[in-house]
Amino acid sequence: MNRWLRVGTVWLALATALLPRLSLRAEDEAVPTDRLLPPEVSVYVSVPDVDELKARFAKTAFGTLTQDSAFASFKGEITKALEGVSSAIEKELGVSLKELLEIPSGEFAFAVLTPQGKKPAVVMFLDFGDNEKTVDALMEKAEKALEENAESDDEEIDGTKITTWTFKNGADKPNQLVYFVKNTMLVASSDLDTAKGVLARWDGKHSDTFADNDNYNLILEKCSTDDEDGLFVWYVNPMGLIQAAVTQVAAQNPQAALAMGFLDPLGITALKAIGGSADMATENFDGITKTFMVIEQPTKGLMNVFQFPAIEQKPPKWVSTNTSAWFSLNWDIAGAYTAIESVVDMFSGPGTVAARIDQIAQQEGGPKVHLKKDVIDVVSGRIQVVMEPGKKKDDEPAQDRVVVALGLKDAKKFQATLTKLTKMAGFPGQTREFKGATIIEFELPDFSGSLEPKMAGLAIGQEQLMFSNDVTVIEAMLRGDTDGDALVDSAAYKSIVEHLPAKASIVSYSRNDSQVKTLWDMAKGGQAGAFLPQIDFSKLPEFDTVKKYLTPNGGYSVPDKKGVLFVSFGTKKK
């Protein structure tokens, strides 16, 4: 009994000794910048922890890649180039490049405020951590430069000195630069009232802050990653920016204010906010970005042009495993047509669009094609884009082969429409029969640099209208051939499927290796030297060194009751 009493006494003493320190640490912990800002924020960008961002970047595939011993020679080139840059910076600013890059430590943030009836203001936050000496040197240098064009004034609020520089520009409302330093945070603003508002919220207990914005919090919720809010967070209020811009213009031209009256009928006011997050080296992803658009429901006007219903989507069998990128979306084209028709009719009178479409369809000498009945009503809205690496000739660069496929509800009816178009005088293409289908060929220049003409193709097959910049791809698709196994059965595609929803509006897949190789070969071959002559890019390692670090990327978009979510991610190497 005495033994347990002694143990309990020791723990009580330790707790009593530590409590004041724990309380002090909680009080000293920096308040997030979104809680230091007033509500009227229209743009907000934040890196919550710069040190964490640097550490996590080193754990990504690219960060690991640069630590490979094969990069030693090229890193030496980078080091030499940076030494020259550092010398120039140190001569100009009095600090080295290394010291400059080490300044951001905790949170870095930037915001644009659009208070009602006032001039927009900007504010920047920089937590410099233990780098106060470097910051002091830079501020001293900056103040000497400011003295030539501005006048300064200092005032103290609750022990914090606020410095205001007013520029001598002769305007009715001269520009200002306001800044103060509190704890390890440098705050700079274009407006004194804004700076004071930030300082008034410094304890994090203010009841009126941007952090309480419903749309902002919805974006944070929808865009949370494996590590909650992510290493990078952003937010935009489009209507706030538009309103501020119109107000500024209307001060000189009052008629500009009339433009605001058109936004609601067009449905644009339904777009309440856009924002997202980015993260790296998480449990499940090498990198991931999420974007959420807050859209008021139900939509109307032009917003109905962009309706993408979620369906089950995967690459068809004719998409080969050699594909470097595949993209698929499901678009409500009929709904988009109706939305455009209603907007035009709103300004021109009911029935204007329908009458004009009928008139064009009956025009003498025309193809007698009705845009609504023969095109819009016949396509399904499923659109796919496929990219494959081109085949080289004599070691010369090759143009990527691109296929665009548009799903059809009635392939026979659309073929009849195509036939009408090909029979028009001056039609630029040539037709030929192939495997029971009609191929329309066009001559295109080869943008790879060989300046040889290339034959593009257009045909209907597998219930789709298919176009490619290389007619041989169309031929292969009509034969049912693929250049290799099907993408849908490949390990690379399966590595992203596990992160895709069962149904989506948009789905994408890309191979980093094929996309990076072209740029890598160009740089190593000397083409990057024109932009950075001080670096010898021939010392880059062979691409095989890079390839082993690269993994497939995926992406998708899904509708939401409160808007739409876009996700893009890079898989982790297993």
As a three-state string, the secondary structure of 475-502 is: HHHHHCCCCCCEHHHCHHHHHHHCCCCC
- CA neighbor of 109 nearest in space, from 128, 122, 123, 125: 125
Q: Which two tokens stand for residue 457?
A: 């193709």
- pLDDT tier, 169 (very low <50, low <70, confident <90, very high otherwise): low
Domain ranges of the chain: 30-250, 316-337+366-485
Q: Whole-prediction pTM value?
A: 0.88
In this structure, the number of other CB atoms found within 10 A of the CB of residue 454 comes to: 18
Which of 72-76, 331-335, 351-355, 521-525 has the lowest average pLDDT?
Answer: 521-525
The per-residue pLDDT of the chain, averaged, comes to 86
How many Å apart are CA 76 and CA 72, to the nearest integer?
Answer: 6
Q: Could you tell me where the DSSP H helices lie in 45-201?
A: 50-57, 61-66, 72-93, 97-102, 132-146, 192-200
pLDDT in tens, 432-489: 999 889 999 988 765 555 556 678 999 998 899 999 998 988 988 888 766 668 899 9
Concatenated DSSP letters of 393-414: BTTB--PPEEEEEEEES-HHHH
- pLDDT tier, 177 (very low <50, low <70, confident <90, very high otherwise): very high
Dihedrals phi, psi of 417, to nearest 5 degrees: -65, -45
Q: In terms of pLDDT, which residue wins out, 546 or 481?
A: 546
Dihedrals phi, psi of 253, to nearest 5 degrees: -135, 95
Q: Could you tell me where the DSSP H helices lie in 29-96?
A: 50-57, 61-66, 72-93
Sign of dihedral through CA atoms 88, 90, 93, 97? positive
The size of the chain, in residues, is 574
**What burial class does residue 75 get, using C-beta atoms within 10 Å of its C-beta: 0-12 exposed, 13-18 middle, 19+ buried?**
middle
- CA neighbor of 370 nearest in space, from 311, 319, 413: 413
Helix (H, G, I), strand (E, B) or coil at 368: coil
Measured CA to CA in angstroms, residue 130 lies from 46, 86, 185 at distances of 20, 21, 11
Helix 333-348 with 352-361: angle, nearest 10 deg: 110
pLDDT on residue 24: 34
pLDDT in tens, 191-220: 999 999 999 999 999 999 999 999 999 999
pLDDT on residue 18: 37
pLDDT in tens, 117-161: 888 999 999 999 999 999 988 998 888 888 888 888 999 998 999
